[in-house]
Amino acid sequence: MKSRRALALGLLTLLAILLMAGCADPRPIAHLTAPTPIPLKAEPTATLLPVLVEAQEAAKAAAQAPAGEEALPVPPQRPSAEDGAMAFAQNCVVCHGEDGKGVIPDTPDFTAPDLFRERAPAELFLSVSKGKGTMPPWESSLDEQTRWNVVFYALDFAVSEEALQRGKDVYTTHCVVCHGEDGKGLLEDTPDFTSPEFVATTRLVDLFQSVTDGKGTMPPWKGQLTEEDRWAVLTFIRTMGYDSLHK
């Protein structure tokens, strides 16, 4: 409302300026009589409304989706850590090491869980594709699916067989009833854990929050599962979306 009034005021001011400019110039006086102000007054509402509605919808969408989510890329196919092994050995080991712990300054330790909990795989895919810091971009030397596979090969370093087994047990006991044995979901709202979109664009820290506090019709699990069990089950859920070397 406020901005509509501001615009109307602005238009009136503009009109006044035009009128004054018109007065200085003797020629257009004839055009300055009655008809002009009326359509102009009515116009702002008509042209401004769609703009306002659009802006409101954009603001609503931005409030719903975490920043940047819509722009995150999705793998063409299910990522495979195994298929990324060769590309990792040939292109990445020189800086990240065979064990993924990093051999040059600034390289993150791939065996520590933090990086892969806090960032969506798609965000790491973008870093690998475009380059980051002293890491060169790979988008011209590795094809799209290979870049996804090698990112999942990297994040597979942080997956331990022990956590995976524990996560599987938790999942079978507490989650199967709604999410299904295969993770595709049995209820209307349950996400498909096996879809490339889910595995690539979600951040484990966000999922941890949902599992801890509940989301929609899903109950909170903080009272029933330890923090370690909640992380373990999320590790297991993520491996439903790609081929892990630990399974």
Which residues lie near ligand HEC (CB under 6 A)? 87, 91-92, 94-96, 104, 106-108, 124, 127-128, 132-135, 138, 150-151, 154, 170, 174-175, 177-179, 187, 189-191, 206-207, 210-211, 215-218, 221, 233, 237
Q: How far is CA 193 from CA 24, 34, 197, in A?
A: 71, 66, 9
- Least distance (Å) between residue 58 CB and ligand HEC: 22
Please list the helix, strand and coil fractions of the chain in percent, rounded to the nearest 5, in that order. Answer: 60, 0, 35
- Least distance (Å) between residue 123 CB and ligand HEC: 6
Which residue number, 77 or 141, has a Cβ lying nearer to ligand HEC? 141
- Least distance (Å) between residue 59 CB and ligand HEC: 22
- Least distance (Å) between residue 243 CB and ligand HEC: 16
Residue 96's identity, in one-letter code, is: H
Which residue number, 4 or 246, has a Cβ lying nearer to ligand HEC? 246
Give backbone dihedrals phi and psi of 215, rounded to 5 degrees, phi first: -155, 135
- Least distance (Å) between residue 110 CB and ligand HEC: 7
How buried is 36 (Cβ within 10 angstroms: 0-12 exposed, 13-18 middle, 19+ buried)? middle
Which residue number, 92 or 199, has a Cβ lying nearer to ligand HEC? 92
- Least distance (Å) between residue 216 CB and ligand HEC: 2
Which residue number, 37 or 206, has a Cβ lying nearer to ligand HEC? 206
Which residue number, 61 or 94, has a Cβ lying nearer to ligand HEC? 94
Which residue number, 95 or 245, has a Cβ lying nearer to ligand HEC? 95
Closest CA to 149 of 107, 199, 185, 190: 199
Which residue number, 45 or 217, has a Cβ lying nearer to ligand HEC? 217
- Least distance (Å) between residue 204 CB and ligand HEC: 9
